[in-house]
Homo-oligomer: A and B are copies of this chain.
Amino acid sequence: DIVKALLNEKLPDNGSTASCTWQGKTFVITAGPTREAIDPVRYISNHSSGKMGYALAQAAANTGAKVVLVSGPTQLATPKGVQRIDVETAEQMLTAVKQQLTDCDVFIGCAAVSDYRVENISEHKIKKEQNSEPPKLSLVQNPDILKTVAQSANGPFTVGFAAETQNLKENALSKLQRKQLHMIIANDVSESHQGFNSDQNSALILSKDSEQSLPTMSKHDMAIAVIDAIAKRYFDTSNRS
């Protein structure tokens, strides 16, 4: 069929472009951290730099895909040919993602979304009172963007990331099944030379019935490998469940 023909028409894999083509398909990719306000000046966030998500957006765009990048606060330039939507909180990210779902073939949730937000955001800066107890921060669970997308009717091919500091494979497989993802990319972020804020990464690409180990490489190269791995499963319709 056409899809197979497209796959056979591979671009040369010179290490800087994915070997598949995604012409006519739309990717929605989330990237970066989210920030959850405590008060007008303080917030909870995480160490995600956004580099991996931006590299994925660039790699997908380079194969001809239309790419929408929904990004938390980062210091990165928008990849060429990519439409970028800036958000701050998890709730804003969910809203932006939902608006893109009507035209989305592949969703990659690469953002490090805050699992929790502060229950009552203080309108004014919380003052440090003398001789008083520090405030207790009550947290509430944020919406699960990845799960929402994966379980939406006629949803896209859904890829998640798992940043773990222990039990990498078990935690990632559990997340794959629990959220009904098509694929999950697992990173060990306890190793300082890779993951968050690093330019290098190694990963385990897991799906229901396959496992691919990627050695330490640049996030640029890893993005290409991930886009290729998605293509392999996406265009082999027998693998889509």
Question: Which chain A residues have a beta carbon within 8 Å of chain B's beta carbons?
Answer: 38, 40-48, 75, 112, 114-116, 124-128, 130, 134-141, 163-166, 171, 178, 189-190, 196
Contact = CB atoms under 8 A, between A and B. Distances in A.
Contacts of A138: 134, 136
B125 A163 contact: yes
A122 to B, nearest CB: 9
Nearest to A134: B139
Contact of A45 (B40, B43, B139, B178): B43
- Number of copies of chain A assembled together: 2
Contact of A166 (B44, B116, B124): B124
A126 B185 CA distance: 19
Contact of A137 (B124, B136, B178): B136
A136 B163 CA distance: 22
A195 to B, nearest CB: 9
A124 B165 contact: yes
List 9 tightest A-B contacts by C-beta distance, closest first. A134-B139, A137-B137, A115-B128, A124-B165, A125-B165, A42-B46, A41-B46, A116-B134, A124-B166
Nearest to A141: B134
Nearest to A166: B124
Contacts of A75: 75
A175 B46 CA distance: 31
B125 A134 contact: no
A199 to B, nearest CB: 16
8 contacts: A40-B189, A43-B45, A43-B46, A43-B47, A124-B165, A134-B140, A136-B137, A136-B139
Contacts of A40: 165, 189-190
A39 to B, nearest CB: 8
Nearest to A37: B47
Given A75-B75, A124-B165, A178-B130, A43 B44 contact: yes
